[in-house]
Amino acid sequence: MRIMALVASLGLAALAACSPASQGGENSVSVSDAYIVKPTPGRDVAGGGLTLSVTGDAMALVGADTDIADTVELHTMSMEDGVMRMRKVEQLDVSEGTPLVLESGGAHLMLFGVSPDIEIGETVDLVLTLTGSDGSESTLTTEAEIRGLGD
Ligand SMILES: [Cu+2]
């Protein structure tokens, strides 16, 4: 719940600060291939991915939110003592020429409390919160495709 409150407050802050200058004029951000993997029956935890590109100043992805899950976390994967471990992180950096690729097996989105009603093939809104190098926050809404495991 603490995480949800944080995401919500970031979203509100971004709205409040949503002046035309929030993108710095020259920064542009694009998202492609956003997806969420439908959990297997009886489970409510899902992985997700996307590719985030920026032009201009470096930015950081600091949060994600969607109506179909209670919380969304940013996770990294690393090999420790021969075992793949996931770790929650507060931000993932992205800079021009180095897109941020979130996918299974690497850094990814992790969704908790996922609605059992989502259907493979449908799309849902995914709201990303980004910070600029000057600390300004902005949000970006993209559409994530619900996929089946292994698709
Ligand atoms: Cu994870």
Report CA(17)–ligand 1 centroid distance (Å): 30
Q: What is the pLDDT of residues 84-136, one digit of tens each?
A: 999 999 999 999 999 999 998 899 999 999 999 999 999 999 999 999 988 89
Report CA(28)–ligand 1 centroid distance (Å): 28
What is the homologous superfamily of the domain 2-15+28-147 according to CATH?
PCu(A)C copper chaperone (2.60.40.1890)
Arithmetic mean of pLDDT, 13-34: 62
**Res. 140: pLDDT tops 60:** yes
CB 128 within 8 A of CB 112: no
Report CA(31)–ligand 1 centroid distance (Å): 20
Report CA(51)–ligand 1 centroid distance (Å): 17
* Residues less than 5 Å from ion ligand 1, measured at CB: 75, 86, 110
The SS3 assignment for 12 reads helix
98 DSSP 8-state letter: B
